[in-house]
Amino acid sequence: MARQPIRWLVPALLVLVWLAVGGGLGPFAGKLTEVSTNDQAAFLPQSAESTRVLEVRERFRAGETQPLIVVWTAGGADVTPEQTAAATRALASLRGTTGVAGTPSPAIGSDDGKALRGIVQLASGVDDALGEILDRIGSAVAVDGLRAELAGPAATRADLSDAFAGIDGLLLGVALLAVLIILLAVYRSVLLPLVIIVGAIFALGLACAVVYFLADRDIVRVDGQVQGILFILVIGAATDYALLLTARFREELATTGDRFAAGRVALRRSFGPIVASAATVALGLLALLLSNLTNNRALGPVGAIGIVCAALSALTFLPAVLVLLGRAALWPAKPHPADAGTRGIWGRVAAVVDRRPRRLWIATILPLIALALMAPQLNARGVPLDETFVNDAPSVAAQATLSEHYPEGSGQPAVIVAPAGRAAAVARAAGGVEGVSDAAVVSESGRPGGPPKIVDGLALVEATLSDAPDGDAAQDTVKRLRTALDSENGVMVGGYSAQRYDTTETAKSDTLLIVPVVLAIILLILIVLLRSLLTPVLLVVTVALNFLATLGVSALVFTHVFGFTGSDASVPLYGFVFLVALGVDYNIFLMSRVREETALHGTREGVLRGLVTTGGVITSAGVVLAATFAALAVIPLAFLLQTAFIVAFGVLLDTLVVRSLLVPALIRDLDARAWWPSRLGLRGEEQASRAPAGTPR
């Protein structure tokens, strides 16, 4: 009797600790935007040629600036000389105003006479007030009879900030609402879904506090994309782990009726799979540290921190609350034993697997292979600017206007760094490269003609490209420029198109490096967990096949449904890390239970019992994770929409097909050989044969 109060004390203390964590650290989810940046230049490959050009280019400016392009049109009519003069005066009036660096350029007319263009350099450190500054500039450059639009990097950056505005409210709200609806449908309980969501929110608060602390000290870097993925990852993973542990608690509570015994058994049986799952995802994310792209490296530790916090909440807060609430947590539903689903849908699925396993896995794997063969059709050379934003962003419309009246690359010229003595020759050579419409040395005044501006013995050449700077043709022109110009003698080609090219090439090399590392990590964890070699190899092959099949479907959907002409270079890598690492989770949940049952009943019975007992909870977990990642679509960016589709569709494909049919059929067909070199299956059959009839589990 003396131990009775202690049994209540430990879970009560755990709940109090998490309440303090939630109350004290929860606000950091909203404060994370204070230490995040959406400066796309900060996420370029550090060793790439275009990045070195960017560093050199900053020396030619009084300080770090970002260009804003103002374009005027007269609704199809010709621009008058009076309007040109008025536009030039409007630009000149911006000199010395808040946020403007140097003297804006004069208004330059287009060859067709129907547009004007001027460039305003914005000072660094104006991110917080960028929207306000652009509004003021938009008002200042208004000219009677002309429509003024703002394009260029500064305008795009402002639209990115608008896209991520409210990310800690809208995205989080949509994700939690989706999870709540699914949990209410799964549990048919009032209290339990709320407990699981509270645990996920506590985990997110802890993760955001840790990330905030590290980002504030420049140990990790956070942008809007990383922040959004962190939110989704923590909510989805914490809910998945909670579903696994809660299902086991419900089984044990139905068997023993003792909440403390049920809590101990549920925690003991779920601890291994949850830790293995969290380790798989966290280490898979940390493999992104091998990337040469800064935003990929940033996601690695931030995502890993989120996964660890999700697992910590699921293994401490949730079991403590379940023990304190007991059966009340499930009200009005009742706990049911592990074999309650033998007559339900998963009992019928298990019967199909048991009847013709070889025919089933062959029939399942062939369509997956057919879909995987379409994966190379996914164009991952980047998304054009007009597809970057899902909605109609003002900077995209302005860029379209600019491209209509000026050479398509005029707003984002290629920037060539050359020794001052060779600048004129480099300009002539660049002008003769296919895809370049014009090339000129940058002068002291910043306008064509005049003496060149020289800094540290270097000069800049700006090459206007004939094609849109965000298209594949512009990247090909960059390749030709670098081939034509002698890079060994200090000539480097940079600029927007070169940055896109270098990012694409770096992402390709990252994928070739990181993919095998992640697969090796997953394989090692599965070998340790299952104490087998053959089954872990099969599981890794199935999740990799699921990923390739998902890419094949995505290639079709992105083109024919969403209307994208391509995807960001990092989308396949993000999709791989999330989908493969998270996809293995469900195989871990299934196969850890199959192994447990195999030790008692042999492989055949172990597969069937494992499939029946975990079918409902794993399917629910897959639906929850798919729904949470789908919530990323509320942020109107193609990168996140494409990532959301790949992960959501891939998780559902893995949950409903690979884990439910392919994997059980393979293991059932292999029987005891699946556990090679262990003799686990044979030992299970021997133990089952020695047990008296009717012996309870």
pLDDT 10s digits, 598-656: 888 888 888 999 899 888 888 888 888 888 888 888 888 888 899 999 999 999 999 99
- Considering the domain boundaries, does residue 518 fall inside one? no
Q: Output the CA torsion sign for 592, 597, 603, 609.
A: negative
Domain check: are 330 and 429 in the same one? no
Helices (H), 152-223: 153-164, 172-187, 191-216
- Amino acid present at 9: L
Residue at 59 is within a domain: yes
Q: Residue 446: inside a domain, yes or no?
A: yes
How many CB atoms are closer than 10 A to CB 661?
20
Alpha carbon distances (Å) from 636 to 160, 379, 391, 633: 9, 20, 6, 7
pLDDT of residue 346: 87
Tell the burial category of 72 from Cβ atoms under 10 Å away from its Cβ (0-12, 13-18, 19+). Answer: buried
**Banded model confidence at residue 688, pLDDT cuts 50, 70, 90:** low
When pLDDT is averaged across residues 482-487 and rounded to a whole number, the result is 81
CB 459 within 8 A of CB 441: yes
Q: Among the listed ranges 267-271, 484-488, 527-531, 537-541, which one has the minimum average pLDDT value?
A: 484-488
Percentage of the chain exceeding pLDDT 90:
26
Domain-located, residue 92: yes
pLDDT of residue 40: 57
The H or E element spanning position 355 is helix 345-355
Last residue of a domain, one of 141, 163, 185: 163
**Residue 94 carries which side chain, given as an amino acid letter?**
L
485 with 564, same domain? Answer: no
Strand arrangement of the beta sheet that strand 492-495 belongs to: 436-441, 458-465, 414-419, 492-495
How does pLDDT run across 365-424, given as a tens digit for each residue?
999 999 999 999 998 877 777 788 887 788 888 888 888 888 766 667 888 999 988 888
Query: CA 482, CA 663: separation in Å to the nearest integer?
Result: 49
Looking at the 3D structure of the chain, how many domains does it have? 4
Q: pLDDT band for position 2 (50/70/90)?
A: very low
Sequence-separated (6 or more) residues with CB below 8 Å from residue 26:
201, 202, 205
Q: Is the predicted pLDDT of residue 188 greater than 90, yes or no?
A: no
- Cα 680 from Cα 685, distance rounded (Å): 9
Q: Which of 5-14, 203-212, 653-662, 663-672 has the lowest mean pLDDT?
A: 5-14
Question: Is the domain of 140 the same as that of 274?
Answer: no
Could you report the per-residue pLDDT of 303-342, keeping only the tens digit for each? Answer: 999 999 999 999 999 999 999 888 888 887 776 665 544 5
Q: Any idea what the CATH number is for the domain that residue 116 is in? A: 3.30.70.100
Tokens of 72: 């005027």
Q: What letter would DSSP give residue 105? A: P
Q: Exposed e or buried b for every residue in 367-393, given b needs 16+ CB within 10 A?
A: ebeebbebbeebebbbbbbbbbbbeeb
Q: Output the domain CATH number for residue 233.
A: 1.20.1640.10
Calculate the dihedral angle through the C-alpha atoms of 186, 191, 194, 200, rounding to the nearest 10 degrees. -80
Domain assignment of residue 519, yes or no:
no
Check whether residue 172 and residue 137 sit in a common domain: no
| Tens-digit pLDDT profile for residues 536-578 | 999 999 989 999 999 999 999 999 998 888 888 888 988 888 8
pLDDT reading at 187 higher than 60: yes
Separation of alpha carbons 572 and 567, rounded Å = 9
Task: Render pLDDT for 191-239 as a digit per residue (tens, 0 to 9).
Answer: 889 999 999 999 999 999 999 999 888 888 887 788 888 888 999 899 9
369 contact partners, CB below 8 Å, separation of at least 6? 545, 549
- Residues 484, 550: one domain? no
579 neighbors 649 (Cβ within 8 angstroms): no
- Statement to judge: residues 213 and 352 lie in one domain: no
Whether pLDDT at 35 is above 80: no
DSSP reduced 3-state for 414: strand
Could you give the CA distance from residue 306 to residue 205 in angstroms, rounded to a whole number? 10
Assigned domain for 317 exists = yes
Q: Is residue 382 part of a domain?
A: no
Q: What is the pLDDT of residue 488?
A: 60
Using 50, 70 and 90 to split pLDDT, how confident is the model at 697?
A: very low
Q: Is residue 510 part of a domain?
A: no
pLDDT at 317: 94
| Segments forming the whole domain that contains residue 64 | 52-163
Q: Judge if 317 and 185 occupy the same domain.
A: yes
Q: Cβ distance 574 to 649 under 8 Å? A: no
CB atoms within 10 A of CB 516: 11
Predicted local confidence at residue 569, as pLDDT:
82
Model-wide pTM > 0.85: no
pLDDT in tens, 434-465: 999 888 888 876 655 668 888 888 888 988 88
Q: Are residues 144 and 241 in the same domain?
A: no
Which of 135, 163, 191 marks a domain boundary?
163
Looking at residue 63, its pLDDT comes to: 55
Residue type, 88: T
| Distance (Å, whole) CA 351 – CA 346 | 8
Average pLDDT, the chain: 85
CATH number for the domain that contains residue 481: 3.30.70
In the listed set 113, 130, 163, which residue is the last one of a domain according to the structure? 163
State whether 574 and 611 are in the same domain.
yes
Q: Are 332 and 266 part of one and the same domain?
A: yes
| CATH for 583 | 1.20.1640
Higher pLDDT, 456 or 5: 456
Residues 327, 191, single domain; the answer is: yes
- Choose among 65, 187, 93, 124: nearest CA to 446: 65
147 and 170 assigned to the same domain: no
pLDDT over threshold 50, residue 502: yes
